[in-house]
A and B are shown apart, each in its own frame.
Chain A
Amino acid sequence: MSLLDKMKALVAFYEEVLSMPHRSEIARELRDQDDMFLFMLYSEMLGIPNPAYYYTLELYPYMMEQFHDWHLRMGMDKSPMTGFRCC
């Protein structure tokens, strides 16, 4: 490894240290937006009418894993949907 490469590695390391807390903050913000999206998707369950409900149902198999994490984050230990169980 030449000196230049070593310097580059050092700078990359330093930048990673700097950006570590930031990365998680951005990820958190994105996750919150995702949660909002899912919340709107499953709004029917909470009594808010959702005209797109029948169409979004088709997405369900693709979102199984994500859906599981979401209902855990929302404070529901088990899937709130009868008939569709993920855990």
Chain B
Amino acid sequence: MNAVALASIGLFIFILGYRFYSKFLAEKIFKLDPNYVTPAHRFEDGVDFVPTNKWVLWGHHFTSVAGAAPILGPAIAVYWGWLPAFLWVVLGTVFAAGFHDFGTLVLSVRNKGQSVGTLAHRLIGQRGKILFLFIILILVLMVNAVFAWVIANLFISFPAAVLPVMIQIPLAVWIGFSVYKKQGKMLIPSLIALVIMYATAVIASNVEWMQIDLVRYMGGEEGAGIFGLGAVSTAFFIWILFLMIYVYIASTLPVWQLLQPRDFINSHQLVVGLLILYLGLFFTVPEVTAPMTNATTDVSWLPLLFITIACGAISGFHGLVSSGTSSKQLYKETDARFVGYAGAVGEGVLALVSIMAVITFFPSADAFRESYSSFAAASGGGLGNFVQGAAQLAEGLFIPASIATTIVSIIVISFAATTLDTSVRLMRYIIAELGQEYNLPVLTKTHVATTIAVASSAALVLIPEGPNGFGSGGYLLWPLFGTSNQLLAGISLLLLTIWLKWLGRNYWVALIPMIFLVFMTMFAMAQQVFFQWAMWGSNPNGLLFVFGAIIFGFTLWILLTAVSALRKGIDPNYSFEEE
């Protein structure tokens, strides 16, 4: 099958979803009112509440939600063949992610721009708030561990990308200072930074001494590392240690110094990446070589497919962006359809091209099966396959393969690094909030909270043993990341269900995706926890068992809360003054 045709079908379904389903949601379910005074106008303060043009808001929303996760998930999930991954990304985006992002945005707009966490308190009560805090704590912990592994893995596999990524840090700090202190514009400096990064990438791809390759320094894969570890193990250890020190510093700096300017550069990279991939796809018109479905013996697609692809099909993280910032800046309530729904579609478009890059990369179906020989091989090597597949598409635009590989890995690493930075920051806030909740003032101190966040993340990423030893098993945590992300989406969908029921509207549009997600999460966790990771299971692993069991418990908790909340009538404390 032709990949362009397949991608076009996917894009066409996205358009239909936006044209019809989101219209149905806007008119019949949410009953958006163009005259409703949005929080941006009502509480306008020039800081958080600022009425913003819908295109600008969409651009910001999209760049906030798109990252490395919608690339990595699909690159692993094609293990079961391209069809299951394709269908889940396309249908998930249209019916689950689109509704979820759009819905959380409207819910927040109709409740004074409050965030999902506060709304959990209002709609469910104190238990809802604590449940939410713990789910998000698990999620950010998983994000920290998985993305630290992603970056370390790419640093080891593509050493030419190391230097350009490192150069991004001082460049970002320079932009931060020049814009902040001298009130300069940021477009030109951030474009200059991008050019410098890519120029370094071009040079580093061709000059060996500019490639920081720890494994080579230690005498290749067979070489001896430190503490009796192998060379690859040592390289993982050093990179993860380095990343943790970096992220400690980065997440305690003010956001305008490093995080934001790096985001400006990353926005350019997102545009560049999407352009390269889609133009490459349409110029080279590659054939899909991966099999449509792949019979597997070790891990079944049901339910693991729905856990492996979280971002790109539905992701709870989007609800945090929708209700955290976007809802406070919505100009007109009717804009929510475009910002929320089309924002989710944007991420679906990225996930779709990630599938295309991987399934057109291999010369034959046999080569695909050789690379994706087991679920562990798929998880460990998926991202590397994406990078090389994307580079192959870029060759259609006359970019040499070695340079394209470096640039694509820089793009993925940059996304992962920003996610890591944000998520450590978020974890610090949550630890501080839990400290307040449970009267432990010591946890509210910045450095105490950051130390706990960084140390626990480092421990988590280093413990699982992969095929290359110490630290290389970070990908084993990917299903746990997927489930915790789905759980967060589950709780947002639960809030939407309760809210729509209270309003007397049709709440099945929220309830069905919620039940689907909760069911798949419980199914996956039960299967993994009790039959694989437990002591009596086929693949005993204490760490994964504990985390899996915790997530299983939380899912059960959400389910019980959902049942009790739906049976109960409207909470007398809830005010409908906003309606």
Interface residues of A (CB under 8 A from B): 11, 13-29, 31, 69
Q: How many residues of B contact A (CB 8 A)?
A: 27
By a CB distance below 8 angstroms, the chain A residues around B47 are 24, 27-28, 31
Q: Does B207 contact A (CB under 8 A)?
A: no
In the A-B complex, the 7 residue pairs with the closest CB atoms: A17-B59, A27-B47, A15-B187, A20-B60, A16-B56, A28-B47, A25-B256
- Selected interface stretch from B260-268, B477-485, B492-500: B260-268
A sample of 27 inter-chain contacts (CB < 8 A) reads A13-B55, A14-B59, A14-B187, A15-B186, A15-B187, A16-B56, A17-B59, A17-B60, A17-B267, A18-B186, A20-B52, A20-B56, A20-B57, A20-B329, A21-B260, A21-B263, A22-B179, A22-B186, A22-B264, A24-B47, A25-B256, A26-B256, A27-B46, A27-B47, A28-B48, A31-B47, A69-B45
A24 contact from B48, B57, B263, Cβ within 8 A:
B48
- B295 CB to closest chain A CB, in angstroms? 45
- A31 CB to closest chain B CB, in angstroms? 6
B260 contact from A11, A13, A25, Cβ within 8 A:
A25
Task: Name the residue on A nearest B267 (C-beta).
Answer: A18
Contacts A18-B190, A20-B329 supplied; 16 other A-B pairs, CB < 8 Å: A11-B187, A13-B55, A14-B59, A20-B52, A20-B56, A21-B60, A21-B263, A21-B325, A22-B260, A22-B264, A23-B50, A25-B255, A25-B260, A27-B46, A27-B47, A29-B256
By a CB distance below 8 angstroms, the chain B residues around A13 are 55-56, 59
B177-195 interface with A by 8 A CB criterion: 179-180, 185-187, 190
Q: Does B63 contact A (CB under 8 A)?
A: yes
- B49 CB to closest chain A CB, in angstroms? 9
By a CB distance below 8 angstroms, the chain A residues around B264 are 18, 22
By a CB distance below 8 angstroms, the chain B residues around A17 are 56, 59-60, 63, 267
- A21 vs B260: C-alpha distance in the bound complex, in angstroms? 8
A interface footprint on B322-344 (CB within 8 Å = 1, 0 otherwise) = 00010001000000000000000
By a CB distance below 8 angstroms, the chain B residues around A11 are 187
Task: Name the residue on A nearest B271 (C-beta).
Answer: A14
A interface footprint on B376-391 (CB within 8 Å = 1, 0 otherwise) = 0000000000000000
B160-184 interface with A by 8 A CB criterion: 179-180
By a CB distance below 8 angstroms, the chain B residues around A15 are 185-187
By a CB distance below 8 angstroms, the chain A residues around B256 are 22, 25-26, 29
Task: Name the residue on B nearest A28 (C-beta).
Answer: B47
- A41 vs B531: C-alpha distance in the bound complex, in angstroms? 66
- A18 vs B184: C-alpha distance in the bound complex, in angstroms? 13
A interface footprint on B137-173 (CB within 8 Å = 1, 0 otherwise) = 0000000000000000000000000000000000000
